[in-house]
Structure 1
Amino acid sequence: MKKLNICIDIDGTVTDPYYFMPYFNKYFDKDLGPEDCHTCKLEDLYEVSLEEVIDFYLKEGYDMHLNAPVLEGVNEILWDLYETHNLYFVTARNKKMEKVTLDWMKANNMPPIKVHSLGSYYKVDKAKELKCDLFIEDNPENTKQLAQEGIKVLLIDTNYNKDLNLKNVIRVNSWYDIKNIIDKMSF
């Protein structure tokens, strides 16, 4: 059995892809649902400035991240993968959100996976540094960058990444799909 280095995004990958929407809707007085979410750029989705998104994040980010629901199967599968592979959370979350990320992991009984909070959506350099065999992601731009660098990506299917179809990218619908693919890759 081959031990893989697996990088895992958090938001929209381990968490429900649309968990942020009730918080943004309340803050920006909107009524958007997952069916409206066709972009990862929150300033475009909510028709506000990037500064307003940052202001929201500074005020509401901790509570939003702490209460983010975990996708079905994530806990059991991460614990199983943790026993046999090297797992790394590689997130665009700012370093200031690392404490809430660790608090969230503890509250949700996650394995003690090392967290790399980049504060940037560019993940290629960290993936290369970690000798990533496989990256689990939802963001179409991140996926494109990783795939173009030859890194295999499992792309969680969402409304905002439907149009992406690239070499090195396998679209998945659940963490059970992810587990099956990893099992096949490691044997």
Structure 2
Amino acid sequence: MKQKRFGIDIDGTVTCPTSLVPFINQDFSMNITLKDIKKYDLSEALNIPADRFRDWFDEREPIIYENSPIAPGAKEVLDSWKQQFELFFISARRNHLQHVTEKWFHEHDLQYDHIELIGSHDKIKAAKKYQVDIFFEDKHDNAVSIHEELHIPVMLFNTPYNQDPVPNGVIRVDNWAQAKQWVQNWCNYSVTL
């Protein structure tokens, strides 16, 4: 029997946070790197009018998701967890992208118990519905609100766009190996209680 249920964001967490950069550079004639993105709102971070950026993203979104590289170490860690934990991927992607998303998981040979595309950054309702025990996220305010509302630990994957302070219970990690180590310690601690 699997002992814990993990809620896991997809974009910028399982996929590499640089996924959009080549598309932005090509389509907006820019030459940026991830280090140049200091805010989660890309239209604001890159000084692109919000409606123009939204239209561009709506058009390019499926292609970006199809071609997103997996984050370094994500497959190895998720593979090591698949027998022991339930893996529920909860994403702000809209549900018309379900096929694209499942295809990407299949192509990367990533196992999952469930994929929920909620079409919004408010993941609290889905995390509550699926009774996740821990969450993995790259968006700062999501990490904070999930932790504060559900009183569960949240792993926040460090990026240049999520550097605001975090409360205890939101744990910053630089990579999947650090997340795995924290989870192992957390599970060992839970067993001893």
Is the Cα contact below 8 Å between 1:79 and 1:110 reproduced in 2? yes
C-alpha RMSD of matched pairs (Å): 1.6
Quote the residue 2:191 is aligned against.
Answer: none
Can you list the C-alpha shifts for 1:43-77, whole angstroms capped at 9, x where unaligned? 11222233222221222111111111111221121
Q: Do structure 1's residue 13 and structure 2's residue 3 form an aligned pair?
A: no
Is the Cα contact below 8 Å between 1:28 and 1:46 reproduced in 2? no
- Cα distance between partner residues in 2 of 1:174 and 1:86: 20
- SS for the counterpart of 2:82 is helix
Can you list the C-alpha shifts for 1:1-41, whole angstroms capped at 9, x where unaligned? 98111100011111111210111222222222112110110
- Cα distance between partner residues in 2 of 1:72 and 1:113: 21
Aligned residues: 187
Is the Cα contact below 8 Å between 1:6 and 1:132 reproduced in 2? yes
- Cα distance between partner residues in 2 of 1:113 and 1:52: 36
- SS for the counterpart of 2:154 is strand
Quote the residue 2:160 is aligned against.
Answer: 159
Is the Cα contact below 8 Å between 1:147 and 1:169 reproduced in 2? yes
Cα displacement (A) at 1:92: 0.5
Q: Do structure 1's residue 175 and structure 2's residue 176 form an aligned pair?
A: yes
- Cα distance between partner residues in 2 of 1:110 and 1:164: 32
Can you list the C-alpha shifts for 1:124-169, whole angstroms capped at 9, x where unaligned? 1111111111000010111121122122100101111122321211
Point out where structure 2 has 5 or more consecutive residues left out of the alignment. 189-193
- Cα distance between partner residues in 1 of 2:136 and 2:12: 10
Query: TM-score if structure 2 supplies the norm length?
Result: 0.91
Quote the residue 1:96 is aligned against.
Answer: 96
Q: Do structure 1's residue 86 and structure 2's residue 103 form an aligned pair?
A: no
- Equivalent residue runs for 1:15-164 within 5 Å: 15-149=15-149, 150-164=151-165
Is the Cα contact below 8 Å between 2:136 and 2:155 reproduced in 1? yes
- Cα distance between partner residues in 2 of 1:47 and 1:80: 41
Query: Once the two structures are aligned, what percentage of the paired residues are identical?
Result: 28
- Cα distance between partner residues in 2 of 1:72 and 1:24: 21
Is the Cα contact below 8 Å between 2:87 and 2:112 reproduced in 1? no
Point out where structure 1 has 5 or more consecutive residues left out of the alignment. none
Cα displacement (A) at 1:108: 0.8
- SS for the counterpart of 1:122 is coil
- Cα distance between partner residues in 2 of 1:96 and 1:56: 17
